[in-house]
Amino acid sequence: MTVETDPVCGMKVDTSKTKHKTIYKGRTYYFCSERCRKAFEEKPEYYLEHGPQGMP
Amino acid sequence: MVREKIKIIGIDCPTCVYAINKSLLKVIGFMKLEVDVSSGVAIIEYDNSLTNLNKIYEAIREAGYDAEKEIIEFTADFEAEQVKSIEEKILNARGIFDVKASPLSGTIRIALNPHSSEKEKLGEMLESIGIRKKETTKKEGGKEEGKAVLAKKLLAFSLGICVIALSMLGLGSSGGIPLLAIILLASIVQLLSLETLKRGLKSLIVGTPIMDSLIALSSTISFVFGLFFSILEPSPSISPVHPTSFFEASSGVLGFVGLGKYLEGRLRYRAASYLREIERTMEGKARVLRDGSLVEVEAKELKPNDIIEVKNGEKIPADGIVIEGKGYVNESAFTGESLPVFKTSERRDSVLAGTMLVSGYMKIRATRVGKDTSISHIAASAREAQLYKPRFQMMADRIVGRMTWAVIIIALSSFLAWFTYTHNISLSLIFTASVLAVTCPCPLGIAIPMVVSLGISNLARKGVIVRRGDVFERAKNATMVIFDKTGTLTKGKPKVAKFISLSNQNNIDFLSYVCSIEKKSEHILGEAILEFCAAKGIEKADEPSDFENFPGLGIVSRFNEEIFAVGSIELMKKMGAQIEESVYDEVSRIGRNGGTPILVYHNGRVWGIFEIHDELREEAKEIVDFFKKRGLKVGIASGDVEESVKNITEKVGADFFRASLRPEDKADLIREMESKGEKAVFVGDGVNDAVALGASFLGISTSKAADIAKEAGDVVLASDGLNGLKELFIVSNKVLKGAKENLIWAFLYNGVLIPVASGLLYPFFGIILMPHFAALSMVLSDITVILNSFRVLTVG
């Protein structure tokens, strides 16, 4: 099991279980929910720069 | 206030809880939700005087989640008139998520909360509302019982006719032996119909009167007063009604109704015959290899991985793969297509249980047996569909539940009015008995589920599996059809036309990585690339160390530290690849030619492009025309590049298209259309388009029969091709037409005959509708309506 941090809300996500993921600049990001994924896809640079901001 | 512990499925973060809570707040009476995100266990508090668990459950589903539930299905004795009240009573009990009762099959299906302590008390609760589970009778027993019941009903009918004949001939009018004979015969008819009488009166006592209650009241009133008047007034009276007329009435009502019910039962049986046909396909013996020799076992005893021998003319007893031999298989049980399909071990073709080996010989390795086979899933889907009610059925259920009460009130009012007006008790009683005997809630309660059931069976025979009973209504109300492109409008057997290399490196080495990646993909475009590799003799590289699938975009994979990606140009952009103008030109050219470009990424740039072509289905244009002629807008939603989707849109004559969509974008498109007031049908692949299928007004999945167990959609096209769509919409129209005709007939019949039976025409024309003729006309109307259901669904 690999655990990664949701870049939007900061939750720990099991990469093998979540279906919410996206790819940005060649890197895969995992999310806890569809809402977080959509929020990230709208402003990826913002979240990568400022870090997790909590539930959108 | 009620506190209920349930387990919610699908919760993986606090956002989910927020969404569920938001949906629950719309339920009046909902008070509090507490959820443990890690386990999904929730405590819900609600005011049970304002709401019930069913409404809470619906709100959870509305939010896109589900609750862990246990399904209990059983058969019970109940009539169409009781459906509404049964469902309401069970739903108001604690721990019940959902209840569906089908009067056609006598099935009640309860979805209950396995975490509720009330589950243990289910039996007691059912007993308390008068539901008794029926023991499953053995087939042989059922047949014998059928014959005994028929004999009883035929005898009651014959004796009833004798009573009517004797009475009409004037025998018994002067008392004596002929009158005694009439009384004796009428008593025997009462005894032969004891079950109907008991059932009717019992339902009346528990407060849910059914049609039998009306019949029991009508015949008992007639019989008791017949006896009463025979003793008090054996000679002809000045009243137009003679005492023997009461025996005529009681025996006639029971005789005609008994026969009518038997005929109705036969027709109901016929309507459900397809499901039994399916069940029969699972019976019989199979020859299976055990310890090196062939032994004969019951088909239900087969296990996955068993090697089964099938000779020509035999039914295939399990889903499996042909591992030896070849032959022609008739798959009409799934596809409605009687032309046999060639299956061979060379291609490791798959075969399905319930199909027949017309010629040849084969050994198959069983992959799915018994209840896991596709045909069992079809039967389960069809049975399930009958429990989902169309809107008009729910309306009919409400009416039927109240109709019997209304009739009892009309009958009583009619008695009081006539007695006040004429002071003639026998005449007043005859009108009362007639009102009770003439009313028939059957067309409302039975004929509509029967039309729906026949529609489902008809379509199943043609390879169209309807999974919800309200599909017909939805098909009729749809305003738009959106097709997925690949595998839906196209044949789904794409081939690589060429590989365009954009590097100077050795293509063979490079492609070996691509082929290894695609080996792990389940996408049909991946299969095309694999075929291309096989044809070119490209050896696959080692297993990739990492593999991520992005539906609608492609695959990203890693070989040690080398990253490869195979997919759309969108994926290339997300990989941050350097995309040259020549790549865009190539992508555009392939799209204009109706092809699909699949690009390969490595080391920050696009290294090559596969040009993949899939043929359009022959019937695609005709299907699009069919919908357009019916006034529906037709669109195409695809993950493919714009030029390619545009090319297909022009070829089939669709109204609009959307390209470069991911699965979730297709669902968003559906929601966007629905926000504009459209009711969108989505036709797509069951696995890749599950989200869009779920979001649409009517989801139609084009998965093959073998995938039925796992895919989504309200309807599944089990046969290859789109012609099932036409069938679905044509049958939907017929079902709705039949249901409408039956409703009109039921209202018209009751609307005209109840006033006649209550004596409205007597003061003007001297017309009295005697109770037995009232019963006869009721029976005839019932049978007519049921036959109409068959006519609508079998003619034209």
Per-residue pLDDT at B711 = 60
The shortest C-alpha distance from A23 to chain B (Å) reads 6
Query: pLDDT digits over B586-597, tens only?
Result: 999 998 888 899
Beta strand pairing status for B70-75 and B107-112?
antiparallel
Least confident of B72-76, B115-119, B250-254, B605-609: B115-119
Nearest residue on chain A to B662, alpha-carbon basis: A22
Tell me the mean pLDDT in the region B628-656.
Answer: 93
Contact (Cβ atoms closer than 8 angstroms) between residue B578 and residue B604: yes
For the cut 50, the answer to whether the pLDDT of residue B758 exceeds it is yes
SS3 assignment, position B310 = strand
SS3 assignment, position B180 = helix
Per-residue pLDDT at B238 = 46
Q: Do A55 and B664 touch (CB under 8 A)?
A: no
Which residue of A16, A19, A23, A27 to mutate against B (max B Cβ within 10 Å)? A23
- Please work out, in degrees rounded to the nearest 5, the angle formed at the alpha carbon of residue B569 by the alpha carbons of A13 and B492: 90
Least confident of B82-86, B159-163, B242-246: B242-246
Least confident of B374-383, B463-472, B541-550: B374-383
Least confident of A37-41, B175-179, B431-435, B663-667: B175-179
Query: pLDDT digits over B231-264, tens only?
Result: 776 444 445 566 777 888 888 888 888 887 777 7
Per-residue pLDDT at B82 = 77
Query: What confidence category does residue B708 fall into, taking pLDDT thresholds of 50, 70 and 90?
Result: low
Which residue of B12, B21, B605 to mutate against A (max A Cβ within 10 Å)? B12
B706 closest CA partner among B222, B334, B374, B423: B374
Task: Inform me whether the C-beta atom of residue B562 falls under 8 Å from chain A C-beta atoms.
Answer: no
B255 closest CA partner among B779, B746, B769, B784: B779
The shortest C-alpha distance from A50 to chain B (Å) reads 21
For the cut 80, the answer to whether the pLDDT of residue B696 exceeds it is yes
More confident residue, B112 or B103: B112
Round to whole Å and give the CA distance between B749 and B738: 16
Q: Do B574 and A24 touch (CB under 8 A)?
A: yes
Q: Decide: residue B174, CB within 10 A, 0-12 exposed, 13-18 middle, 19+ buried.
A: exposed
Start-to-end C-alpha separation, chain A: 26
Task: Inform me whether the C-beta atom of residue B12 falls under 8 Å from chain A C-beta atoms.
Answer: yes
Q: Do B576 and A26 touch (CB under 8 A)?
A: yes
Specify the DSSP class assigned to residue B71.
E
Q: Do A28 and B548 touch (CB under 8 A)?
A: yes
- What are the two backbone dihedrals, phi and then psi, of residue B60, each rounded to the nearest 5 degrees? -65, -40
Q: For residue A11, list chain B residues with Cβ-Cβ distance below 8 A.
A: 13-14
Tell me the mean pLDDT in the region B356-376.
Answer: 86
B586 closest CA partner among B499, B527, B508, B526: B499
Beta strand pairing status for B2-9 and B680-684?
unpaired
Round to whole Å and give the CA distance between B239 and B229: 12
Q: For residue B65, list chain A residues with Cβ-Cβ distance below 8 A.
A: none
Round to whole Å and give the CA distance between B671 and B152: 58
Q: Do B15 and A9 touch (CB under 8 A)?
A: yes
Per-residue pLDDT at B707 = 61
Round to whole Å and give the CA distance between A4 and A53: 16
Tell me the mean pLDDT in the region B570-584.
Answer: 90
The shortest C-alpha distance from B637 to chain A (Å) reads 20
Nearest residue on chain B to A26, alpha-carbon basis: B575
Q: For residue B604, list chain A residues with Cβ-Cβ distance below 8 A.
A: 26
Stretches in chain A below the pLDDT threshold 50: none
Most confident of B394-403, B475-484, B529-538, B688-697: B475-484
Per-residue pLDDT at B639 = 85
Residue type, B451: V
For the cut 80, the answer to whether the pLDDT of residue B712 exceeds it is no
For the cut 50, the answer to whether the pLDDT of residue B136 exceeds it is no
Query: What confidence category does residue B617 fall into, taking pLDDT thresholds of 50, 70 and 90?
Result: very high
Round to whole Å and give the CA distance between B747 and B563: 71
Task: Inform me whether the C-beta atom of residue B571 falls under 8 Å from chain A C-beta atoms.
Answer: yes
How many C-beta atoms lie closer than 10 Å to residue B453's C-beta?
A: 26
Per-residue pLDDT at B442 = 62
Question: How large a percentage of chain B has pLDDT more than 90?
Answer: 22
Round to whole Å and give the CA distance between A27 and B548: 11
For the cut 80, the answer to whether the pLDDT of residue B277 exceeds it is no
Round to whole Å and give the CA distance between B670 and B326: 44
Task: Give every CB contact of residue B179 below 8 A, 6+ residues apart in sequence.
Answer: B172, B173, B230, B234, B243, B244
Q: Do A9 and B576 touch (CB under 8 A)?
A: no
User: In this structure, what token pair is assigned to residue B495?
Assistant: 């081939």
The shortest C-alpha distance from B372 to chain A (Å) reads 26
Q: Do A18 and B12 touch (CB under 8 A)?
A: yes
For the cut 80, the answer to whether the pLDDT of residue B294 exceeds it is yes
Tell me the mean pLDDT in the region B682-687.
Answer: 81
Find the helix or strand (DSSP H, E) in which B596 lies. strand B596-602
Round to whole Å and give the CA distance between B577 and A31: 23
Per-residue pLDDT at B234 = 47
- What are the two backbone dihedrals, phi and then psi, of residue B656, each rounded to the nearest 5 degrees? -155, 170
| Complex ipTM | 0.85
Q: What is the mean pLDDT of chain B?
A: 83
Query: What confidence category does residue B138 fall into, taking pLDDT thresholds of 50, 70 and 90?
Result: very low
